[in-house]
């Protein structure tokens, strides 16, 4: 996806009055909820920094060697590519090695985990209705800043415990206030700066990949017409932040962003990177 | 003959570039390098990436080279990425000039790109495509969708005509496009125009999610409560 497609998705959902739930199931996983609600409750004091674990930033423009396309009822390569630009078939793409390629894994891979971890940081920073106003990369870390001064740090984590995180597991987040901090990750555990923060009982251990409560939330909202936890507007901003941060990283300089117009401020180069053509005949 | 046909978009753009658009700034080093790749016998990967780079960093000097690929298998969509990214009006002119020379998915792609660019000057050509019975349905539907994104008075008038008296098969695509156009008109402060096009949807379609969406949006623009039908 791109910034433009993130906008188009939310616009379409709102246009037709549909109930939408993104696959950001960690919004409904106990330890992540506990951590975000602790931050919002004020028990950590004033939140000054939120940290989102991300995969290594990478952007490959290579093509794998061409292989004969299988029969269409085995792999429909045209359908598999969807709106991504054409490239010769290679079975490795279909077998999961599509990651890291610019055409498939937009935003330098940041949105894959960012869609979850940045999204949770938005919640913890009480910022679901806005985005950071600036981004600046330093190697594999990107620093975002909200208008109120809160910092969003997007830093390396990974499938093998990379990065300096306390809570074990993939997709880690950390929320820091002036009175304490909490981390949560996919093992279902939390780490806290003080045992007092979990005096009322630690959250039940639930893997971060468990979608059960997320699906229940969606089905409840289909009945009630309320907005689910991962609704279109929240999803829009989580994706846009991930893309905007990666655009700054690509450009190798600080970029400023207007959360209202959802455009970069006085930055034609960055704004041009918010969209690219979809392969015909795909259109939104 | 097919060789001349393939070159036609580039020739038209070169002519347009000569009489209408004069690049005001010299190409950047990235643009110069990408153009050299496009002019070479480099392979698909190199040319595809060059097109994408021109979408990010190219200017009017890149338009003719990109336009030459609009009918080229496997490179056409990469070329469209280049042309969609170049804000100079010559990029829109190149896409418009290519329309009569393109068929099938290449035509649909150019039409989609004109919509993404909100190319107001394309409205007459898209209107013609929407009503051309010789064209495949995909081209007509793409033209209608792009008219919705363009959302000028001429574009929305065409959508209203299709909704009121156009072929039945095009009324649903026109309704989707009208909803998109109404959002654009409202963003531009033209709430009257937005309500008009929304009312055309309500009048043209039987009750259903499209009519409900149009009705609710029109009500919201008027400050009235929406329908309970979408609840």
Rounded to whole angstroms, the Cα distance separating A96 from B10 reads: 39
Q: Cα-flanking dihedrals φ and ψ of residue A190, to 5°? A: -125, 155
pLDDT digits (tens, 9 = 90+) for B128-167: 999 987 777 899 999 999 999 999 999 999 999 999 999 9
* Closest chain B residue to A13, measured at CA: B213
Q: Which long-range contacts (CB under 8 A, 24 or more apart) does B161-168 make?
A: B162/B130, B163/B200, B163/B201, B163/B203, B163/B204, B163/B205, B164/B200, B164/B203, B164/B204, B166/B130, B166/B131
**Tokens linked to B127:** 């209107």
What pLDDT was estimated at residue A213?
A: 97
- Choose among A102, A273, A283: nearest Cβ to B112: A283
What pLDDT was estimated at residue B227?
A: 58
Task: Report the helix count and the strand count for chain B, using DSSP H and E.
Answer: 13, 0
Q: Are residues A63 and B57, on separate chains, in Cβ contact within 8 Å?
A: no
Interface residue A159 vs chain B (CB under 8 A): no
What pLDDT was estimated at residue B229?
A: 45
Helix (H) or strand (E) holding A182, with range, is: strand A180-184
Q: Taking 70 as the threshold, does the pLDDT of residue B225 lie above it? A: no
- Choose among A87, A268, A276: nearest Cβ to B55: A276
Residue B28 or residue B94, greater confidence? B94
Rounded to whole angstroms, the Cα distance separating B146 from B58 reads: 24
Q: How far is CA A140 from CA A91, A177, A179, A248, A249, in A?
A: 30, 24, 28, 12, 9
What residues contact residue A280 under an 8 Å CB cut-off, 6+ apart? B76, B77, B80, B105, B106, B108, B109, B112
- Choose among B105, B212, B217: nearest Cβ to A281: B105
Interface residue A227 vs chain B (CB under 8 A): no
The answer to whether residues A267 and A255 touch, using CB atoms and an 8 Å cutoff, is yes
**pLDDT average per 10 residues of sequence, chain A (284 residues):** 95 96 97 98 98 94 95 97 96 94 91 96 98 97 98 93 90 98 96 94 90 97 97 97 97 97 97 96 89
What is the torsional sign of CA A150, A263, B183, B165?
negative
Rounded to whole angstroms, the Cα distance separating A283 from A277 reads: 9
Complex ipTM: 0.91
Name the minimum distance, in Å, from the CA of A138 to any CA of chain B.
22
- Find which of B84, B86, B184 to mutate to test the A interface (most A CBs within 10 Å of its CB): B84
What pLDDT was estimated at residue B26?
A: 82
- Find which of B69, B81, B176 to mutate to test the A interface (most A CBs within 10 Å of its CB): B81
Helix (H) or strand (E) holding B91, with range, is: helix B89-98
What residues contact residue A188 under an 8 Å CB cut-off, 6+ apart? A29, A30, A31, A169, A203, A204, A205, A206, A207, A208
Residue B126 or residue B15, greater confidence? B126
Q: Which of residues 118-137 of A touch B (CB under 8 A)?
A: none
* Closest chain B residue to A63, measured at CA: B45
What is the torsional sign of CA B102, B108, B110, B111?
positive
Q: Taking 50 as the threshold, does the pLDDT of residue B5 lie above it? A: no
Name the minimum distance, in Å, from the CA of B3 to any CA of chain A.
23
What pLDDT was estimated at residue B24?
A: 62
* Closest chain A residue to B114, measured at CA: A277
What pLDDT was estimated at residue A170?
A: 95
Q: Taking 90 as the threshold, does the pLDDT of residue B1 lie above it? A: no
- Choose among B52, B76, B179: nearest Cβ to A15: B179
Q: Which residues of A touch B106 (CB under 8 A)?
A: 280
**Tokens linked to B165:** 């008296």
What pLDDT was estimated at residue B74?
A: 95
What pLDDT was estimated at residue B226?
A: 63
The answer to whether residues B69 and B81 touch, using CB atoms and an 8 Å cutoff, is no
In this structure, how many other beta carbons lie within 10 angstroms of the beta carbon of residue A78?
12
Rounded to whole angstroms, the Cα distance separating A183 from A261 reads: 32
Closest CA to B141 of B113, B176, B117, B103: B176
Q: Are residues B145 and A283, on separate chains, in Cβ contact within 8 Å?
A: yes
Rounded to whole angstroms, the Cα distance separating B119 from B136 reads: 22
Closest CA to A269 of B23, A252, A5: A252
Residues of B with CB under 8 A from a CB of A: 44-45, 48-49, 52, 55-57, 74, 76-78, 80-81, 83-85, 87, 105-106, 108-109, 112-113, 115-116, 138, 142, 145, 179-180, 183, 209, 212-213, 216-217, 230-231
The answer to whether residues A53 and A173 touch, using CB atoms and an 8 Å cutoff, is yes
What is the torsional sign of CA B128, B133, B135, B141?
positive
One DSSP character per residue, B189-200 reads T-HHHHHHHHHH
What residues contact residue A215 under an 8 Å CB cut-off, 6+ apart? none
The answer to whether residues B97 and B66 touch, using CB atoms and an 8 Å cutoff, is no
């Amino acid at each position: 996806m791109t910034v433009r497609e993130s906008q188009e998705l939310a616009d379409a959902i709102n246009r037709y009055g549909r109930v939408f739930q993104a696959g950001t199931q960690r919004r409904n996983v106990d330890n992540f909820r506990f951590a975000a609600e602790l931050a919002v409750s004020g028990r950590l004091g004033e939140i000054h920094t939120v940290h989102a674990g991300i995969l290594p930033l990478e952007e490959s423009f290579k093509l794998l060697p061409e292989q004969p396309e299988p029969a269409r009822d085995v792999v429909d390569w045209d359908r598999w590519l969807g709106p991504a630009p054409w490239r010769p078939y290679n079975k490795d793409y279909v077998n999961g090695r599509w990651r890291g390629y610019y055409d498939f894994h937009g935003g330098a891979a940041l949105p894959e985990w960012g869609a979850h971890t940045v999204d949770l940081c938005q919640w913890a920073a009480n910022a679901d209705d806005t985005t950071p106003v600036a981004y600046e990369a330093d190697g594999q870390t990107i620093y975002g800043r909200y208008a109120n001064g809160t910092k969003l740090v997007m830093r390396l984590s990974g499938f093998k415990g990379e990065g300096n995180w306390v809570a074990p597991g993939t997709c880690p987040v950390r929320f820091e206030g002036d009175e304490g901090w909490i981390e949560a990750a996919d093992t279902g555990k939390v780490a806290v700066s003080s045992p007092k923060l979990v005096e009322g009982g630690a959250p039940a251990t639930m893997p971060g990949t468990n979608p059960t409560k997320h699906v229940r939330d969606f089905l409840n909202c289909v009945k009630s017409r309320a907005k689910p936890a991962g609704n279109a507007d929240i999803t829009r901003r989580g994706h846009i932040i991930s893309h905007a941060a990666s655009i700054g990283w690509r450009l190798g300089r600080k970029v400023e962003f207007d959360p209202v117009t959802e455009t970069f401020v006085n930055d034609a180069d960055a704004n041009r990177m918010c969209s690219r053509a979809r392969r015909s005949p795909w259109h939104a | 003959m097919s060789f001349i046909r393939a070159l036609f978009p580039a020739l038209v753009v070169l002519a347009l570039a000569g009489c209408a658009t004069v690049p005001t700034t010299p190409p950047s080093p990235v643009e110069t390098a990408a153009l050299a790749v496009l002019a070479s016998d480099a392979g698909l990967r190199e040319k595809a990436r060059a097109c994408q780079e021109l979408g990010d960093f190219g200017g009017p000097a890149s338009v003719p080279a990109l336009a030459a690929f609009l009918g080229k298998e496997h490179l056409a969509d990469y070329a469209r990425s280049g042309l969609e990214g170049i804000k100079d009006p010559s990029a829109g002119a190149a896409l418009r000039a290519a329309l009569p020379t393109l068929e099938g998915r290449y035509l649909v792609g150019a039409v989609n790109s004109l919509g993404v660019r909100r190319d107001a000057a394309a409205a007459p050509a898209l209107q013609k495509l929407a009503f051309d019975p010789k064209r495949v349905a995909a081209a007509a539907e793409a033209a209608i969708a792009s008219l919705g994104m363009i959302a000028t008075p001429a574009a929305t008038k065409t959508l209203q005509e299709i909704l009121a008296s156009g072929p039945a098969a095009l009324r649903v695509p026109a309704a989707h496009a009208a909803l998109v156009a109404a959002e654009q008109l409202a963003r531009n402060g033209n709430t009257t125009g937005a309500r008009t096009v929304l009312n055309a949807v309500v009048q043209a379609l039987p009750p259903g999610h499209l009519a409900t969406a149009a009705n609710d949006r029109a009500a919201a623009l008027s400050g009235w409560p929406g329908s309970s039908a979408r609840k």
